[in-house]
Copies of this chain bind each other. A is one copy, B any other.
């Protein structure tokens, strides 16, 4: 067994996210799970490198030759994805190392999260990997995503084949961030990378942060974690990176009951929450409160410039929703902008009742047949108002025609996008609303499932710029 230096985490993440050749070791029974599932995901999402399936029983899968063992793969292996029974993992790692593998994703479960024996085996696996100059993700993980090269490793059925390339990197300790669990295509949220650390036996958020710091695709980093093993180092690295790229954290285990549950889930201790809370604040890490916030708030940093101040304008087609938006915005440090006289003059020319913030276009919208020529100049005016630092748009769609007209409008407005915007949509048909949301995301306009999150995202962005 060759003994090599343990590669740096950052270097290993290069092998993980940018492999030329991947070996997939596991079962190839067509159950849309296991090695077959991983290989199918790589093919479905158009992975741009080479895939080498490995299994002693099969000779062919999904139109590709299957190699009996990893050391018989006729090429250098950059990344190994292992979906074998736990007991086979040590041997497989050794074989992958013989073909030069720098990193492995251990998808299999049944390690530290399952039993004491599993924990011992996990320890052994890490040891073997390090002796062979390999670093590990997992075990008990659905792996990673890189939208730049179509790398999607989930071993499960997804039912779609496209994830929008964008600037949000997700780090997590759960499979529900995976392509089989999140409707990435339906949401069209902008993703650069995703990594599910599972049991986090070796590589962790700190290593990933170091890699993402220099990743040109990533502008913002969202981390879901149940425990942080080297707190001091995490805070040092996070603080350094947060100065350039916002770092958001969702960390459950705020109370004893969930802390205990964390221990059962990934075999780690959650620690006293107040210590984390203070450390996050000190490091400039933004803590979010819910799973949906974790998914959605980063988007405001992905496509929007930072607000230059904390003055928000709300453009709405519902007066009541406008008020709720101002309410939520105020809770997150924003104030209702005092619109400039140029703006109020322009708005007054359309209707005197429009010349205030929130700009409530509801009444105007409903009395005109073609609403776009009416609302477009209003939004343009707000975009040009130097008293406004950010804009929340509340829009309604009830038909495909309306959706298309709104998308056209945003396409025309795009060159004027000079200040951050978020959008909340409502309407009588989910499909219409979701279509509009998807189209706006594709245009780089972040939309939010909850009205209050659309306001909070802008508040967090404004606060981020003030630090």
Minimum distance in angstroms from A356 CB to a CB of chain B:
6
User: What chain B residues lie within 8 Å of A282 (beta carbons)?
Assistant: none
User: What chain B residues lie within 8 Å of A175 (beta carbons)?
Assistant: 318, 320, 362
Write the A316-338 contact mask toward B (1 if CB under 8 angstroms, else 0): 00111111101111110001100
Q: Are B336 and A257 closer than 8 Å at their CB atoms?
A: yes
Q: Are B320 and A176 closer than 8 Å at their CB atoms?
A: yes
Question: Which of A242-291 touch B at CB < 8 Å?
Answer: 252-255, 257-258, 260-262, 264-266, 289-291
Whether a CB of chain B sits under 8 angstroms from the CB of A132 is no
Binds B, one of A373-381, A383-391, A449-457: A449-457
User: What chain B residues lie within 8 Å of A459 (beta carbons)?
Assistant: none
Report Cα–Cα, A184/B398, bound state, in Å: 13
Q: Are B266 and A319 closer than 8 Å at their CB atoms?
A: yes
Question: Which of A98-132 touch B at CB < 8 Å?
Answer: 109, 113-115
Minimum CB distance partner of A154 in chain B: B428
Binds B, one of A16-24, A45-53, A156-164, A412-420: A156-164
Minimum distance in angstroms from A420 CB to a CB of chain B:
19
Minimum distance in angstroms from A270 CB to a CB of chain B:
9
Q: How many residues of A contact B (CB 8 A)?
A: 82
Minimum distance in angstroms from A143 CB to a CB of chain B:
14
Question: Which of A160-188 touch B at CB < 8 Å?
Answer: 160, 172-176, 179-184, 186-187
User: What chain B residues lie within 8 Å of A260 (beta carbons)?
Assistant: 336
Whether a CB of chain B sits under 8 angstroms from the CB of A33 is yes
Residues of chain A touching chain B, judged by Cβ–Cβ distance below 8 Å, are 31, 33, 109, 113-115, 156-160, 172-176, 179-184, 186-187, 224, 226, 252-255, 257-258, 260-262, 264-266, 289-292, 318-324, 326-331, 335-336, 353, 356-358, 360, 362-363, 366, 369, 396, 398-399, 426-434, 449-452
- A sample of 22 inter-chain contacts (CB < 8 A) reads A109-B363, A114-B353, A114-B363, A157-B428, A159-B429, A159-B432, A175-B320, A176-B318, A176-B426, A183-B428, A186-B429, A252-B327, A254-B327, A257-B336, A258-B323, A258-B327, A258-B330, A264-B360, A265-B322, A289-B452, A291-B450, A291-B452
